[in-house]
Structure 1
Amino acid sequence: MKKLFLLFIMMILISCGGAGKESSSSGNTKIIVNETAEPKSIDPGLLTDQSGIAVNSLVSEGLTRQGKDGTPEPGLAEKWDVSEDGLTWTFHLRENIKWSSGEPVTADDFKFAWLRVLEPATASEYAYMLHYIKGGQAYNEGKGKKEDVGINVIDSRTLEVKLERPTAYFASLAASPTYAPIREKFFDEKGKNFALEADAMEYSGPYKIKNWKHDSNFIMVKNENYWNKDHIKIDEVEMVLVADSTAELNAFNNGEIELIRLTAEQYKRYEKDPRVNVFRNNSVWYLEYNMENKFLANKKIRQALTLAVDKEEMANTIVKGTGEAAYGIVPTGFPGESKTFREENGDSYPKYNPEEAKRLYKEGLAELGVTELPELSLIINEAGNNKKIAEYVQEKIRTNLGANIRIEPIPFKERMARLQQKDFEIVLSGWGSDYADPMTYIDLFVTNGGNNHSSYSNPKYDELIKTANNSSDNKVRMQAMRDAEKILGDDMPVGVMLYSTRVIMLNPKIKNVYFKGIGAEYYLYDAYVE
């Protein structure tokens, strides 16, 4: 999923002592991938962050799986049927598929896992991803019964899913971690320890976690019971948790690392290097305003803070090569009615306008009955380009409005915890796509939504999201989402800043590593070392 609250993460592939070196213990090919922080959770029903999604993509597989371009492919289900009205999806599981423990994977494992996500007591932030299932939202909100949720086990290899409304992209949804299976007996045996240690999970994907040293690394080895194990060429993947981009670049130049993600500053030095690859990753970055703060609850103050930042200058100088100015919550490239969503909706957010920002700021202060804002805190994750972006935002707001912003760099886990507790004033946040439809961004800010940390609420916006979700007419869906984005651009619970791009420097010895903008950021399924 792509989280959910994305960071500017440096994704790297390393091999011990260089690409293609043999593992000292087994003689098998080993690579090392890097994440900047330990996942908040690797429980598929609870994970929300990019690190957790990265781990899950290697050790877990659902009915479908995301291919190298993010589109769904058959996973544990070899095929599926869709009824003529689009409301009933029937998934047919492969023969003899097994968990890493050797136990069979059955349709019951999916039903158990999905109902657990929807159970109110689970408090899954991504439960809304299963609201497409008939009765799912009602059960999740305590207004319906578990027995009425449209998940039916026909037999051990056949799962029937009834939807609230036709959802053409349901196969893409089914590839997300939230839809991954869990075996009920194993879950009950582990109890509160489930997914907290390497041996407290069963694995349905290409790899299984052999060792997990918290805040240090994961060691994942090929899952001998994975149905397509012969296709997997990399025998061991180690995921280390390192945030120092300078050390990574030095290691690359020393031949110790084969693939790194460059920061904006590093890209300036290596822009013409033939080993550099630049491409979009479908993430949008924004300033999220906590509307429980009485000053930020004022619409004109939020508008002023956003309009005071020159996004074009930021993209061209501060994050050159790693971001482009954003004027809508949906990034470039997502499908619309007949063109892309971005082409059809134009700019939903206004461009840099310091004079208008000053006018709105003055009026907002008057409405609040104050002559100046108190110093506001901007929390950021410590890694990547975040500090440079925050410093640029801080200076533009000070210069154009005379308002003071205090930058507060904190560890990733603390930042996530404070978001969930709504213990912040402004946060530099982001979102990446979970599936290939604009709705993956548009529904983020519905009232009481699991990822609506700003506490934003607008009945008209909610109604438009409902219309888009309930219609099988793509024209109606897209118009509702376009209108909803325009409302978001006016109310500004978030100040959209940038669409992120990746800058990757790759050693050509590593083949068939793909980077994508949906779900996990890197795709190792076809990878091998030459």
Structure 2
Amino acid sequence: MKKTALIMLGAGALSLTLAGCGSNQSDQNSAKSSANTYAPAGKDTLVRGNGSEPDSLDPIHAQTNVSASILYDIGEGLLSEDQSNKPVPGVAKSWKVSDDGLVYTFHLREDAKWSNGEPVTAADFVYAFKRAVNPKNAAEMGYKLAPIENAQAIMDSKKPVSSLGVKALNSHTLEIKLDHPVYYFLSIMTDPVSYPVYIKGVKKYGASFFTPEHYVSNGAYYLKEWIQNGHITVTKNPYYWDAKNVHIKNVKFLPIVDRMSAYNAYASGQLDYVMYVPTGNLPSIKRKFGTQLKSTEWLDMEYLDFNLLKPPFKDNVKLRKALSLVINRQDLVKYVTQAGDIPLYSFFPSSIENGIYSDVQYKWSTWPMQKRIELAKKLYKEAGYSKENPLEISIEYNTDITHKKVMEAIAQMWKQTLGVDSTLANSEFKVFLKVRQSHDFQGVARDGWVADFNAIDNFASMWTCNNPQNNAGYCNPEYDKLIAEGQKQRSPEAAKPYYTEAMEIAMKDYPIVPLFSNAVVHLVKPYVQNYQMETNHLDHVYDKWFSFEYKKQS
């Protein structure tokens, strides 16, 4: 009976199917919709549905993939990425690593320039790295640079910023010393937090530097226009070192939060690329648009944060475990998200680092649901609650139709199995981020993390005591100690025992509820050429890769 009720919820929640996609007439018109394989003559702008407004375009404060998708265009680090997420030369044309893995020497291109024509130098990187770890700047993403010599001590206010292990040997040679070897350090050097910033501009304008009026950048594009809640336009940077291979002149990012609106804009030809596709009726979208609907496995996870700094979840692991046990993740992905997502029973996607941690997951994941529910009821009662004395909590999430359906389903699972009374509370993304990070909620908050690089530490380090992305407020010194040891290892195999033990400790503490790992699903017009999505499991997209295909004039 309970499973049937959940199936009904999935069907009801998904009643908002795609307008015009389910009818025979729509399918008959699919060839017509997909026939436009050539870009309109004279088209010079790629228009992308980007999900929402970016939280920031300052590389040390940008926390979302919405922001990153723009930063990949307007900035560039020492290294860039190919479409398999492998590090390739960026501002640095070459580099060498010392035998002990502690010293990296990068040789910068002499033709690397800012968008105002001035040269990009090693000093620009030194300034940017020090800015990222300076505790006065409260950089949410600065922790990614922790392997650099003294970086963590600086962020903890234990050492001066001047002690950071980054040095300009000359104008085009940069030396970086590490506290310990890091086998994925080159991947960190592709991340926006490692991008250089234009020193004179930041010093003169401060936070307002990162606006079209003042922004000087070094990527394939520069920031031309930012209309809040309207669009962001970037334009080809004529001074970019590889400008001759940048084929699309402009990219316009539209912050369309509603997935149906983004889909309709794509169907009517207003968008060339949709970041977030409605997941309620993917078979119909596939029939209508064929190979324009693209998908691949994503190294990400959706989860819930318990607020461990406040009752009722502070010091109540039994209650946290009970709520995690009764969520039927299989039903969530089958009946609610319907996008090829993968249920998660660990604190990271199972395919991270080629699946070497796939055995680290909750043992109860293989139990029948009824057995899980029976244990959950026992724990719920021991935690001080019952159907007569129900838990009352809020479920916070950012405005999005899919998030709404998932949270409604979870609330119903908790109600049906344990009697929990949940109040759903949604807010616009920027507001939601502040609520979540300040722990200003009485219950649980939706969270999600997309890997910046294919390494377990990209997830594991988030739950260390002082990590700014630790939205649950979890802190276990033993966990931190194991993570620190794992970070020092020189290969994934050597690091695995430390991360495995650490994850098992954290999972027993239940600071979060893992839900599922998303699939990447985009809509891309057929005239957008050279998109190799099937190998891009981080979903890092650089528009400099693309070109338009035009119909040849006869």
2:212 matched residue in structure 1:
198
- CA gap of 1:126–1:446, structure 2 versus 1, over 3 A, is same
Correspondence for 1:220 among 228, 231, 234: 234
**TM-fit CA distance, 1:162:** 0.4
**TM-fit CA distance, 1:355:** 4.3
User: Which runs of no fewer than 5 residues in structure 1 stay unpaired?
Assistant: 1-16
- CA gap of 1:319–1:115, structure 2 versus 1, over 3 A, is same
Question: 1:414 & 1:210 partners in 2: Cα distance?
Answer: 26
**TM-fit CA distance, 1:505:** 3.4
Q: Over alpha carbons, which structure has the higher Rg?
A: 2
For 1:305-363, what per-residue CA distance to the aligned partner results, in whole angstroms no more than 9, with x for missing partners? 1111100111111112241111212213222xxx6223343556735745444544544
Aligned amino acid, residue 433 of structure 1: A
Aligned amino acid, residue 91 of structure 1: F
The 5 Å alignment of 1:1-40 reads 20-21=39-40, 27=42, 29-40=44-55
Aligned amino acid, residue 541 of structure 2: Y
**TM-fit CA distance, 1:294:** 1.7
Tell me, yes or no, if the aligned pair for 1:331 and 1:342 is still in contact at 8 Å: no
The 5 Å alignment of 1:460-479 reads 460-472=478-490, 474-479=492-497
2:457 paired with 1:439: yes
1:248 matched residue in structure 2:
262
For 1:90-128, what per-residue CA distance to the aligned partner results, in whole angstroms no more than 9, with x for missing partners? 000001211001111100000001001111101111221
Question: 1:250 & 1:215 partners in 2: Cα distance?
Answer: 18
For 1:245-274, what per-residue CA distance to the aligned partner results, in whole angstroms no more than 9, with x for missing partners? 223323333344344343221314335553
2:149 paired with 1:134: yes
Correspondence for 1:524 among 512, 526, 543: 543
SS of corresponding position for 2:281: helix
2:73 matched residue in structure 1:
58
Tell me, yes or no, if the aligned pair for 2:299 and 2:538 is still in contact at 8 Å: no
Aligned amino acid, residue 519 of structure 2: T
SS of corresponding position for 1:487: helix
SS of corresponding position for 2:515: strand
Tell me, yes or no, if the aligned pair for 1:305 and 1:357 is still in contact at 8 Å: no
2:193 matched residue in structure 1:
178
Correspondence for 2:417 among 400, 403, 410: 400
**TM-fit CA distance, 1:52:** 1.1
For 1:12-67, what per-residue CA distance to the aligned partner results, in whole angstroms no more than 9, with x for missing partners? xxxxx996235xxxx56111111222111100111111111111011000100122
Tell me, yes or no, if the aligned pair for 1:18 and 1:257 is still in contact at 8 Å: no
- CA gap of 1:49–1:528, structure 2 versus 1, over 3 A, is same
Tell me, yes or no, if the aligned pair for 2:390 and 2:419 is still in contact at 8 Å: no
For 1:165-212, what per-residue CA distance to the aligned partner results, in whole angstroms no more than 9, with x for missing partners? 1112111000101101012222111124221x2122211101011111
- CA gap of 1:441–1:217, structure 2 versus 1, over 3 A, is same
Alpha-carbon RMSD: 2.2
Tell me, yes or no, if the aligned pair for 1:303 and 1:357 is still in contact at 8 Å: no
**TM-fit CA distance, 1:381:** 1.4
Correspondence for 1:498 among 516, 529, 532: 516
Question: 2:170 & 2:163 partners in 1: Cα distance?
Answer: 19
Question: 2:458 & 2:313 partners in 1: Cα distance?
Answer: 26
User: Which runs of no fewer than 5 residues in structure 2 stay unpaired?
Assistant: 1-35, 550-554
SS of corresponding position for 2:469: coil
The 5 Å alignment of 1:381-420 reads 381-420=398-437
1:6 matched residue in structure 2:
none
1:5 matched residue in structure 2:
none
The 5 Å alignment of 1:319-338 reads 319-335=337-353
Tell me, yes or no, if the aligned pair for 2:79 and 2:189 is still in contact at 8 Å: yes
User: Which stretch of structure 1 is more off in the superposition, 112-121 or 363-372?
Assistant: 363-372
2:97 paired with 1:97: no
Tell me, yes or no, if the aligned pair for 1:64 and 1:72 is still in contact at 8 Å: yes
- CA gap of 1:506–1:191, structure 2 versus 1, over 3 A, is closer
Tell me, yes or no, if the aligned pair for 1:60 and 1:204 is still in contact at 8 Å: yes
1:293 matched residue in structure 2:
310
Question: 1:403 & 1:170 partners in 2: Cα distance?
Answer: 45
2:57 matched residue in structure 1:
42
2:84 paired with 1:69: yes
**TM-fit CA distance, 1:384:** 4.3
Aligned amino acid, residue 395 of structure 1: Q
**TM-fit CA distance, 1:87:** 0.4
1:448 matched residue in structure 2:
466
SS of corresponding position for 1:226: coil
**TM-fit CA distance, 1:400:** 0.5
**TM-fit CA distance, 1:529:** 1.3
Aligned amino acid, residue 92 of structure 1: H
2:298 paired with 1:281: yes
Tell me, yes or no, if the aligned pair for 2:37 and 2:526 is still in contact at 8 Å: no
User: Which stretch of structure 1 is more off in the superposition, 354-363 or 437-446?
Assistant: 354-363
For 1:132-163, what per-residue CA distance to the aligned partner results, in whole angstroms no more than 9, with x for missing partners? 00111111111112232211110000000000
Tell me, yes or no, if the aligned pair for 1:307 and 1:357 is still in contact at 8 Å: yes
Tell me, yes or no, if the aligned pair for 1:100 and 1:226 is still in contact at 8 Å: yes
Question: 2:269 & 2:37 partners in 1: Cα distance?
Answer: 6
SS of corresponding position for 1:153: strand
2:6 matched residue in structure 1:
none
Tell me, yes or no, if the aligned pair for 1:446 and 1:462 is still in contact at 8 Å: yes
Aligned amino acid, residue 243 of structure 1: V
**TM-fit CA distance, 1:520:** 5.6
Question: 1:156 & 1:311 partners in 2: Cα distance?
Answer: 53
1:10 matched residue in structure 2:
none
Aligned amino acid, residue 69 of structure 2: A
For 1:418-463, what per-residue CA distance to the aligned partner results, in whole angstroms no more than 9, with x for missing partners? 1121112211111010112111011110012111011111122111
1:118 matched residue in structure 2:
133
Question: 1:474 & 1:382 partners in 2: Cα distance?
Answer: 37
- CA gap of 1:349–1:124, structure 2 versus 1, over 3 A, is farther
Question: 1:482 & 1:47 partners in 2: Cα distance?
Answer: 30
2:100 matched residue in structure 1:
85
SS of corresponding position for 1:252: helix
Question: 2:81 & 2:364 partners in 1: Cα distance?
Answer: 31
Question: 2:253 & 2:338 partners in 1: Cα distance?
Answer: 28
- CA gap of 1:72–1:347, structure 2 versus 1, over 3 A, is farther
Question: 2:430 & 2:371 partners in 1: Cα distance?
Answer: 38
Question: 2:349 & 2:71 partners in 1: Cα distance?
Answer: 25
2:498 paired with 1:483: no
Aligned amino acid, residue 418 of structure 1: V
Question: 1:346 & 1:245 partners in 2: Cα distance?
Answer: 32
**TM-score, scaled relative to structure 1:** 0.90
